[in-house]
Structure 1
Amino acid sequence: MGDWDAGPEDDEAGAVMKTVARQLKLWREAAGLTQAEFGAAIGYGEELVSSVERGRRIPRPEYLDRADEALGANGKIIAMKRDLAEVRYPKKVRDVKRLEAEAVEICSYNNSVIDGLLQTEEYARAVFGSRRPPFKEDELEQRVAARLARQEIIESPTTLPVLSFVQCESTLRRPYGGKMVMRRQLQRLLHLGELRNVDVQVMPLGREGNAGVDGPFRVLRLNDGSTVGYNEVQLISRAITEPKLVQILDIRYGTIRSQALTPHESLAFIEKLLGDT
């Protein structure tokens, strides 16, 4: 089982990893085990154990489970899972997840792929798998896991933000992962579109007007009353907080919603696509 790298530019992950690494090393040394002996006891190689203890690798949850048992820590090592839960994912993903957690309303337009909050695991894996140059296998799995973790907000028992998605028709016809993967993705859209806090709308390709031709973007209204935009393009993603720019995105999204099919019409449109696939 592989583990995930802690990026050297990620200060937050680095700080957490230094603390966890120090504790793991202290527990191992207190048990009188070398790195090689400890690795053999938990089913990992000496090199990987060394990387974890130097803060270069983020251990998976099962690593901590086995370490806790092998070192007789009685749950003290397992408790560190909580500290690692967030930094396990790339910093960009953590930043987006925090914004989403603070939002009372999330508005998203996408003419490239199905929005990440709506994706099935298979579809997400196909999207990440199409990237060039390709991700390493561990990194691809990390990205998929991070994307699925963000989706908890949709049916959260503690918070229930209003979610509005406008998908260009092209994203519903582009069969990432093949026909069956796309069928299950369309079925998920139908399911989510029936939730009380979720609106899914379709922007038909036949529309003469489309205020979203400049590409995907998001508008998030936060619980402190502020509004931020979020834009992701080739190799770059950024939050937009400058009021005039946020206002432009806000106006643009309102226009897009008015140009798209209504939520009811959109679900009927998706049902028809599903029947044709």
Structure 2
Amino acid sequence: MAARDDEAGSGSAVGPEAGGRPEDEPGSGVMVAFGRQLKLLRLRAGLDRTEFGNRVGYAAQSVASFEQGRRIPQPGFIDQADPVLDAGGLLLALKEEVARAQYPAFFRDAARLEAVAASLHVYAALAVPGLLQTEEYARAVFTMRRPLLDDETVEQRVAARMARQKIFERKPMPTLSFVIEESALRRPIGGWPVLRGQLEQIVLHARRRNVELQVMPTDRAEHCGLAGPFNLIEKHDGRRMAYVEVQRDSRLHTELTVVRDFYEQYGLLRAQALAPPESLAFVEGLLGEKR
């Protein structure tokens, strides 16, 4: 099991791509419980799926998917369904848990911590980090995933990734930094138009006062990040964690000595990468190449 929130130790959780069905994925866990509750409330209200769907703006087929736990409802559906069914806040009370189910099981601990982090530092080696991705780029990333994800899961993952980006609007503003490999910025995932839009978004985020972007040039002779990408998360109480995701395995580290090593590694990466002003100029230069 992955380490939960601020527990001591470290752990790992295998994601749904491994072939299993983790708890809270569509079809199990909290989604089945939510669906059953939704159906009971609908029947108590004396509404068939079509009539209920008309009142909340959803097709009867979508309502059936929610009730059977096969599809994760958007927050707006829950906001409308609760008063229509006179649920007294029962469905609203499950809203946060349902929202967490948007993420693959192996990422949920990290997503919860990321959403309330005082500071977040990301080293990205293979692709643009999720927090910086455009919708088109994210969709291309999930579409390329193997084993293949079905279309509904792809759209669900894209929506969840976009929701994570609310961190940029949070108050108080978190401190965010990114070290991205040059190769990741040049790789045309989704095609050149998608990459161009992605680079434009990176430039916009890099100009935020609470964001520092650095590029790791491919021609660097010294590079301490060859073991792969990772994220560093610091809470407002000062506790620090490191999240590592490789292939189908993820691990949230909370042990002091392990996390300290990751912070040391990140500090060296920042020293070896281009400085933020140089990095911004570098990305703008890449944009110039693609026009």
What range describes the TM-score normalised by the shorter chain of this pair?
A: 0.7 to 0.9
CA distance in 2, matches of 1:67, 1:240: 39
In the alignment, what sits opposite 1:59?
A: 73
Distance 1:273 1:79, change over 3 A: same
In the alignment, what sits opposite 2:218?
A: 205
In the alignment, what sits opposite 2:158?
A: 144
Alignment of 1:14-163 (within 5 A): 16-17=30-31, 20-33=34-47, 43-45=59-61, 52-60=66-74, 73=86, 79=92, 82-83=95-96, 84-156=98-170, 158-163=171-176
Ranked by relative contact order (alpha carbons within 8 Å, sequence separation 6 or more), the top structure is: 2
Distance 1:43 1:94, change over 3 A: same
State the SS of the aligned residue for 1:220.
strand
Distance 1:140 1:51, change over 3 A: closer
Question: Are 1:260 and 2:273 an aligned pair?
Answer: yes
Moved more, 16-25 or 116-125: 16-25
- Scaled by the length of structure 1, the TM-score of the pair is 0.83
Could you tell me whether the CA contact under 8 Å between 1:61 and 1:81 is conserved in 2?
no
Give the C-alpha shift of residue 110 in structure 1: 1.1
Give the C-alpha shift of residue 97 in structure 1: 1.9
Alignment of 1:176-255 (within 5 A): 176-255=189-268
Counting aligned pairs with the same residue, the percent is: 47
Could you tell me whether the CA contact under 8 Å between 2:53 and 2:59 is conserved in 1?
yes
Number of equivalent positions: 267
Could you tell me whether the CA contact under 8 Å between 1:65 and 1:77 is conserved in 2?
no
Higher Rg of the two aligned structures: 1
CA distance in 2, matches of 1:101, 1:49: 29
Instruction: State the one-letter code of the partner of 2:221.
Output: E
Instruction: State the one-letter code of the partner of 1:108.
Output: V
Could you tell me whether the CA contact under 8 Å between 1:21 and 1:53 is conserved in 2?
yes
State the SS of the aligned residue for 1:103.
coil
CA distance in 1, matches of 2:233, 2:252: 10
- Give the RMSD, CA atoms, in angstroms: 3.0
CA distance in 2, matches of 1:11, 1:50: 18
Distance 1:35 1:239, change over 3 A: same
Could you tell me whether the CA contact under 8 Å between 1:20 and 1:80 is conserved in 2?
no
Give the C-alpha shift of residue 136 in structure 1: 0.4
Identify unmatched segments of 5+ residues in structure 1: 1-6
Give the C-alpha shift of residue 15 in structure 1: 6.0
Instruction: State the one-letter code of the partner of 1:261.
Output: L
